[in-house]
C-alpha cells in the first residue's frame, strides 16, 4: 500500500509540474483577456459625515495593461471584556490596483496580531470582498515540531512540495524575463494608493517604529497643522500633526528633509514620519528634534537681545538660509543637493536652540529646483501676507529659481528688522515687540492694504534713529535694507547676507578686544 500511495503522489507531482508549465507558458504569451472587475464599495467616513451608508457597486477602471485590479476590505474588531462580544466595523471597501498578495478568491486576513485591531484583506474576482474573514495564523517557526503520527505522510508531502517549488523557481525567472521584454513600455508606471491599516513609517531612524511617542503638550497651531511636544524615550521630540486635507504639505516636508546633504546645524533635524489611522480618522505625523526655546518670534516677544546674542542668532539663521538655497554639486561619494526656496520664511519658522543658535523649520511650501528642470506647476502668491515681497503681492513673479530665492531674502530682511528692534545694544529703551508693518498697518493687514503700501508706496518697517547710533546695528540696518530692496535683482543673495552678518559679528569681537585692552586710566 505504501508503494502504491507513493506512486499516486508521484503521478500527482507530474501533473502538478505540467500545470505549472502550462501556467507559465500562458503568462509568457503576454495576451490576457479579462473583463472589468466589480467590487463592493463602502467608506465609513462618508456614512458618518454625509449619511451615505449603503454598500454600492464599484467597477474597477483599468489604469494600465500591466496592472491587475483587486478588491479589498479594511475593518476593525474590538473585543468588549465586560460582555465578551466582538464588534466588527467595516472601515472601507473598494477597488485598488496591483498587489502580489491578492491572488486568493476569498478576502481573508491571516495576520496573527493586527495592529490597532485593524484588519486588511484583498482578493481577486467579482464581489470577492462581499464578506471578509480573519484567520489568525502563527508566523512560520513560532511553534516547535512535536511528534506527529502523520509525520511520514508529512515528509512525503514536504518532498513533493520541495520538488514543485524547485521546478517553479527554475522555470519562473525565464518566463519573467520573457514577459518583461514583451511588455516593457516607455511610460511611467501608474500607482493607485493601496488602502493600508498600519502606520506608514518612513524614518531616518530604523528604531522609530519601536519607540512609541507620547504627546505631552500642544505648543503651537499653524496653517498646516498642530505642533506638540512629545516624548520618544529617552528624548523629547516635536510632533507636527497634519490633518487629512494637508497630506501634501506633510509629503513635501518629508521630501525636503530626505534630500541629499540636507543635514545641517541650522536646519531643523528630522527624525521620521508616520501615518496614523485611529477611529476612522487619519493624521500625518512629522517628528523632529524639539527645541524648548521655541520660535524666534515667541522669544523676541518675551526677551530683548544683546548685541552678542543678536549676532549669534542672525549669523546662524543666515547660514541655514544659505545652505537651503545652495546647490551643491554631486561628488564621487555624495549626490547632488538641489537649491530649495522656502517660500514662507518668517520669525515663526526660525527656531532657537538652547545656545541661541537658529535653525530653519517648516518646509510645507518649499520648492525644489533640480538642475535643468522647470520649477513645475506652482502658485506664486503663497506664504504669510506681511512677509510677502512686492513682486509676490503684485502677482508679477518671474518663475525662475533665482526669483524665488530673492523672495526668501526679502523676508529675511524683515526678520533681521525684528531682531534689531529688540536689541538693547544702543543703550536706550527697547520698545515692545511688534511684527513687521504692525505699527503701520495693524496686526491683521489685508492683501489690498499690503499691495497699496508695500507695492505702490514702497513702504518698509521704520528704522529707528537710535539704532543708527550703534555702529554694529547701523551696519545691520544697511544689510536689511539691501535684503528688502524693491528691485528683486538688486537684493543680496543669501550667501552675501551670511557674509555681511558674519562681518558684523567680527566687528563685535574687535570692539570687545579694543575695550578689554583699554587702560581705565586713559579715560580719567
Phi, then psi, of 287 in degrees rounded to 5: -110, 125
Answer for the pair 93, 55: CB distance below 8 angstroms, yes or no.
yes
How is 454-500 classified by DSSP, letter by letter? Answer: IIIS---PPPPTTGGGSHHHHHHHHHHHHHS-SSGGGSPPHHHHHHH
Ligand-binding annotation for 240, yes or no, is: yes
Answer for the pair 405, 493: CB distance below 8 angstroms, yes or no.
yes
d(CA 152, CA 42): 48
Pairing of strands 38-43, 56-59: antiparallel
Active-site residue, selected from the candidate residues 344, 362, 408, 485: 344
How is 243-264 classified by DSSP, letter by letter? Answer: EGGGHHHHHHHHHHHTSTT---
d(CA 306, CA 430): 11
Q: Is 341 helix (H, G, I), strand (E, B) or coil?
A: strand
Omega cis (within 30) before 230: no
CB-hemisphere CA count at 13 Å for 94?
A: 15
Q: What is the 3-state secondary structure (H, E, C) of 77-134?
A: EEECCCCCCEEEEEEEEEEEECCCCCCCCCEEECCCCCHHHEEEEEECCCCCCCCEEE
**344 catalytic residue (yes or no):** yes
- How many angstroms separate the Cα of 211 from the Cα of each of 168, 171, 197? 41, 43, 19
**Binding site members for ATP:** 240
Catalytic residues: 344
Q: Which residues are annotated binding-site positions?
A: 240
Amino acid at each position: 500500500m505504501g508503494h502504491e500511495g507513493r506512486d499516486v503522489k508521484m503521478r500527482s507531482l507530474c501533473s502538478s509540474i505540467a500545470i505549472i508549465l502550462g501556467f507559465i507558458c500562458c503568462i509568457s504569451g503576454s495576451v490576457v483577456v479579462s473583463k472589468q472587475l466589480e467590487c463592493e464599495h463602502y467608506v465609513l467616513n462618508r456614512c458618518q459625515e454625509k449619511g451615505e451608508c449603503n454598500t454600492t457597486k464599484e467597477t474597477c477602471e483599468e489604469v494600465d495593461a500591466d496592472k491587475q485590479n483587486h478588491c479589498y476590505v479594511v475593518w476593525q474588531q474590538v473585543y468588549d471584556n465586560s460582555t465578551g462580544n466582538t464588534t466588527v466595523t467595516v472601515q472601507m471597501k473598494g477597488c485598488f490596483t496591483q498587489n502580489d498578495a491578492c491572488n486568493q478568491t476569498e478576502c481573508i486576513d491571516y495576520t496573527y496580531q493586527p495592529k490597532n485591531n485593524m484588519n486588511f484583506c484583498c482578493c481577486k474576482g467579482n464581489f470577492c470582498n462581499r464578506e471578509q474573514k480573519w484567520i489568525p495564523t502563527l508566523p512560520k517557526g513560532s511553534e516547535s515540531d512535536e511528534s506527529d503520527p502523520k509525520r511520514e505522510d508529512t515528509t512525503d508531502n514536504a518532498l513533493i512540495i520541495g520538488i514543485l517549488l524547485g521546478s517553479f523557481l527554475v522555470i519562473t525567472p525565464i518566463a519573467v524575463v520573457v514577459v518583461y521584454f514583451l511588455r516593457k513600455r516607455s511610460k511611467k508606471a501608474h500607482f493607485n494608493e493601496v488602502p493600508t491599516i498600519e502606520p506608514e513609517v518612513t524614518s531616518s531612524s530604523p528604531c522609530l517604529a519601536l519607540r512609541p511617542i507620547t504627546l505631552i503638550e500642544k505648543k503651537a497651531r499653524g496653517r498646516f497643522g498642530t505642533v506638540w511636544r512629545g516624548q520618544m524615550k529617552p528624548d523629547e521630540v516635536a510632533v507636527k500633526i497634519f490633518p487629512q486635507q494637508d497630506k501634501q504639505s506633510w509629503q513635501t516636508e518629508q521630501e525636503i528633509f530626505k534630500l541629499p546633504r540636507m543635514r545641517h546645524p541650522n536646519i531643523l533635524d528630522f527624525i521620521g514620519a508616520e501615518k496614523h489611522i485611529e477611529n476612522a480618522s487619519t493624521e500625518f505625523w512629522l517628528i523632529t528634534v524639539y527645541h524648548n526655546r521655541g520660535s524666534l518670534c515667541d522669544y523676541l516677544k518675551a526677551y530683548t537681545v544683546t548685541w552678542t546674542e543678536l549676532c549669534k542668532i542672525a549669523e546662524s539663521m543666515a547660514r541655514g538660509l544659505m545652505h537651503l538655497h545652495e546647490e551643491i554639486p554631486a561628488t564621487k561619494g555624495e549626490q547632488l543637493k538641489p537649491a530649495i526656496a522656502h517660500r514662507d520664511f518668517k520669525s515663526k519658522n526660525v527656531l532657537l536652540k538652547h545656545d541661541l543658535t537658529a535653525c530653519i523649520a517648516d518646509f510645507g511650501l518649499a520648492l525644489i529646483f533640480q538642475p535643468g528642470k522647470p520649477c513645475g506647476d506652482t502658485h506664486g502668491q503663497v506664504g504669510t501676507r506681511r512677509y510677502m515681497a512686492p513682486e509676490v503681492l503684485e502677482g508679477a513673479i518671474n518663475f525662475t529659481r533665482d526669483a524665488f530665492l530673492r523672495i526668501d531674502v526679502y523676508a529675511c530682511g524683515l526678520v533681521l528688522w525684528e531682531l534689531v528692534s529688540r536689541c538693547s545694544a544702543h543703550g536706550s529703551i527697547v520698545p515692545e515687540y511688534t511684527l513687521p508693518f504692525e505699527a503701520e498697518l495693524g496686526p491683521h493687514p489685508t492683501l489690498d492694504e499690503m499691495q497699496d503700501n508695500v507695492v505702490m508706496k514702497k513702504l518698509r518697517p521704520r528704522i529707528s534713529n537710535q539704532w543708527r547710533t550703534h555702529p554694529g546695528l547701523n551696519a545691520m540696518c544697511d544689510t536689511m535694507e539691501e535684503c528688502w530692496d524693491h528691485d528683486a535683482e538688486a537684493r543680496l543673495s543669501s550667501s552675501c547676507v551670511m557674509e555681511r552678518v558674519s562681518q558684523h559679528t567680527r566687528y563685535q569681537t574687535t570692539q570687545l578686544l579694543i575695550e578689554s585692552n583699554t587702560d581705565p586710566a586713559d579715560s580719567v
